[in-house]
Amino acid sequence: MDNFDIPIFKKSYELYKIIYSYRPTIPKQDRYTLWLRCENISLDILENILLAIQTSKQEKNITLNQISLKLNFLRFFLRLSKDIKILDIKKYIFTEQIIDEIGRMLGGWIKSIS
């Protein structure tokens, strides 16, 4: 199976593209600080999903928990972005829905290997 066909990878890939697409709308003063952090975390999530796909069951559990932690960091930074008004509410809600879906997929994956 091709790693890029896995649903959680596809959804995370979509998430990064969405976060990236918001960049031009982010105020310049925040674009290379808080927003860059959001972009980097979403890339870390993609990278760790690819890593988890290719690791043993023991290592997979550690990697999946790291992904879960990164998702929580991303949730926090997006909420902060909304609260300081660099991200509008519609974009925030849309992005949070995707993160929630990824979180559910990740929870199922973690449960399946436990």
Residue-wise pLDDT for 82-100, tens only, equals 999 999 999 999 999 999 9
Direct distance between the N- and C-terminal alpha carbons of the chain, in angstroms, rounded to an integer:
22
For the chain, give the mean pLDDT: 95
Torsion-angle region of 83 (φ positive above 0: left; ψ -120 to 50: alpha; else: beta): alpha
| Number of domains within the chain | 1
pTM here? 0.93
Q: Write the CATH number for 40.
A: 1.20.1440.60
Q: What confidence category does residue 5 fall into, taking pLDDT thresholds of 50, 70 and 90?
A: confident
Q: What confidence category does residue 57 fall into, taking pLDDT thresholds of 50, 70 and 90?
A: confident
Rounded Cα distance between 79 and 64, Å, is 23
Rounded Cα distance between 62 and 69, Å, is 11
Question: Domain of 84?
Answer: 3-113
